[in-house]
C-alpha cells in the first residue's frame, strides 16, 4: 500500500474519532452522560467504528483505485431528554463539524509555518499528514452539514422545525443512505460540496493553496 494512502487512512481515522468525541464531549458538558458511559468520549477510533462508513466505503474506494479515501464513524448516542433546550441539542449536533473545521485550520496553520521555514519536505510524512488532515477534516466537516438523516445537518434542520414537521423529516432516515450513494455515484454530491469545501481548504492552506488547484 502506498505511503500516501496509509497517511490518508490515518488522517481519516483521527478526523472521525475527533468528530465523534466532540459530540460526546459537548453532550456530556451539557448534561447528557450517555455517550460518556458507553465509552464514546474518547479519541480511540475502535470505539467509533461504523461497518459501512469506517470499513466498507473506504475499502471500496481503495479497491477501486480512488485517489481519495473517505468515510464516516458510528454516530454518538445522545439522550436529548437530558439536555435543557433545543439550542443545547444543536450545539451537540454541530460540535463535530466545528472540531473538524478547526482541525483543518490548525493543521493548515502548522503546515504553513513548517513549509515557510523549510522544515518539511513535500514528500515527507509530516507534510503529507498535515496536508491530508486539512483536506479530510474540511471534507468531513462540510459533508456532515448535509441535511440528510443521520448526518449532523439533518439534526439541526430537524431541531429547527415544528414537532410535526420534524417527525416527518426524521422518517427520511431509512432512505438517506440510498440517496447519498446515488448522489455520490452521479458526482452530484461532490459538485455541491466542492463549492463549500474549497474555500475552507484555501483559508487553511494559505500560500500552499496552489496544491489543490
pLDDT in tens, 11-48: 988 999 999 999 999 999 999 999 999 999 999 989 99
| Three-state DSSP string of 85-115 | CHHHHHHHHHHHHHHHHHHHHHHHHHHHHHH
Q: What is the mean pLDDT of residues 91-116?
A: 97
Of 77, 87, 79, 102, which is closest to residue 18 (Cα–Cα)?
102
How many other C-beta atoms are found inside a 10 Å radius of the C-beta of residue 171? 10
Residue of 11, 17, 18, 20 marked catalytic: 20
pLDDT in tens, 187-208: 888 888 999 999 999 999 999 9
Per-residue pLDDT at 53: 79
Cα distance between residue 161 and residue 163, in whole Å: 6
Q: Quote the DSSP letter at residue 148.
A: S
CA 16 vs CA 11, 25, 167: distances in Å: 9, 14, 28
Is 20 part of the annotated catalytic residue set?
A: yes
**pTM given for the model:** 0.90
Per-residue pLDDT at 68: 65
pLDDT in tens, 143-187: 999 998 878 998 899 889 998 888 888 888 788 878 887 887 788
DSSP H or E segment with residue 6: helix 3-29
Amino acid at each position: 500500500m502506498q505511503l500516501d494512502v496509509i497517511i490518508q487512512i490515518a488522517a481519516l481515522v483521527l478526523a472521525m474519532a475527533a468528530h465523534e468525541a466532540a459530540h460526546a464531549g459537548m453532550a456530556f458538558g451539557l448534561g447528557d452522560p450517555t455517550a460518556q458511559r458507553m465509552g464514546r468520549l474518547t479519541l480511540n477510533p475502535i470505539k467509533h467504528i461504523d461497518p459501512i462508513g469506517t470499513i466498507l466505503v473506504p475499502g471500496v474506494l481503495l479497491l477501486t483505485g480512488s485517489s481519495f479515501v473517505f468515510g464516516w464513524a458510528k454516530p454518538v448516542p445522545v439522550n436529548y431528554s437530558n439536555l435543557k433546550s433545543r439550542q443545547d441539542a444543536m450545539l451537540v449536533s454541530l460540535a463535530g463539524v466545528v472540531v473538524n473545521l478547526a482541525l483543518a485550520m490548525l493543521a493548515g496553520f502548522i503546515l504553513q509555518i513548517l513549509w515557510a521555514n523549510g522544515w518539511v519536505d513535500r514528500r515527507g510524512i509530516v507534510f503529507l499528514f498535515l496536508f491530508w488532515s486539512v483536506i479530510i477534516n474540511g471534507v468531513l466537516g462540510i459533508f456532515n452539514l448535509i441535511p440528510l438523516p443521520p448526518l449532523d445537518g439533518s439534526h439541526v434542520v430537524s431541531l429547527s422545525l415544528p414537532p410535526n414537521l420534524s417527525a416527518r423529516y426524521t422518517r427520511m432516515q431509512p432512505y438517506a443512505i440510498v440517496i447519498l450513494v446515488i448522489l455520490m455515484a452521479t458526482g452530484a454530491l461532490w459538485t455541491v460540496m466542492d463549492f463549500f469545501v474549497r474555500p475552507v481548504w484555501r483559508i487553511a492552506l494559505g500560500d500552499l493553496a496552489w496544491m489543490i488547484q
